[in-house]
């Protein structure tokens, strides 16, 4: 989502785009997107600064770090960015900034639920589905 910084009206503007996660290089072996990213941006101009408030929605498929089961997680995040209009700046690439914020928000340890019991260290049974015979 590129914004022409010189064409922001005084009342501001709203932009909306849909991106595939692969287009923004967001997928990895542990993070898969099962829906496109919906990005809505509210753009306003104050002096020599463009303020961009974004809302990003998507659904991810993750693998639990404890029990190894796949589960879905919805993201609905808001980000704020400021861009200087001075020094001949013409465009701001919001997509790249959103991409970086999403990656920074990835969890190191994904849990299917807060009280995930994980796997039995002896037999490997998923303890969320019942006790094992060990």
Identify whether 76 is part of a domain.
Answer: yes
Separation in Å, CA 12 to CA 5, 8, 17, 24, 32: 11, 6, 17, 26, 34
Q: What pLDDT digit, counting tens, does each position of 12-24 carry? A: 999 999 999 999 9
Dist CA 2 CA 58 (whole Å): 20
**Residue pLDDT, tens place only, 35-92:** 999 999 999 988 888 999 999 999 999 999 999 999 999 999 999 999 888 766 688 8
Binning pLDDT at 50, 70 and 90, where does residue 30 land? confident
Q: Provide the whole-model pTM.
A: 0.80
Listing DSSP states for 14-47 in one string gives EEEEEE-GGGGT---SSEEESSPEEEEEEEEEET
Residue 94 lies in a domain: yes
> What is the structure's pLDDT at 93?
87
Domain count, the chain: 1
Give dist(CA 93, CA 96) in Å, integer.
6
Q: Does residue 134 sit within a domain?
A: no
CA distances from 9 to 14, 55, 64, 85 (A): 11, 21, 46, 14
Identify the pLDDT of residue 88: 67
- The per-residue pLDDT for 76 is 96
In whole angstroms, give the CA distance from residue 16 to residue 3: 11
Q: How far is CA 32 from CA 11, 38, 52, 101, 102, in A?
A: 38, 15, 27, 17, 13
Q: Range of 111's domain?
A: 2-129
């Amino acid at each position: 989502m590129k914004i022409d910084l010189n064409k922001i009206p005084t009342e501001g503007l709203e932009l909306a785009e849909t991106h595939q996660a692969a287009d923004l290089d967001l997928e990895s072996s542990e993070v898969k997107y099962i829906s496109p990213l919906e990005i809505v941006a509210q753009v306003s101009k104050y002096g020599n600064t463009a303020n961009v408030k974004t809302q990003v929605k998507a659904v991810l498929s993750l693998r639990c770090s404890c029990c190894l089961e796949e589960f879905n997680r919805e993201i609905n995040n808001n980000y704020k960015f400021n861009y200087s209009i001075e020094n001949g700046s013409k465009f701001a690439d919001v997509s790249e900034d959103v991409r970086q914020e999403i990656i920074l928000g990835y969890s190191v340890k994904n849990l299917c639920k807060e009280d995930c019991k994980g796997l039995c260290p002896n037999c490997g049974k998923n303890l969320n589905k019942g006790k094992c015979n060990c």
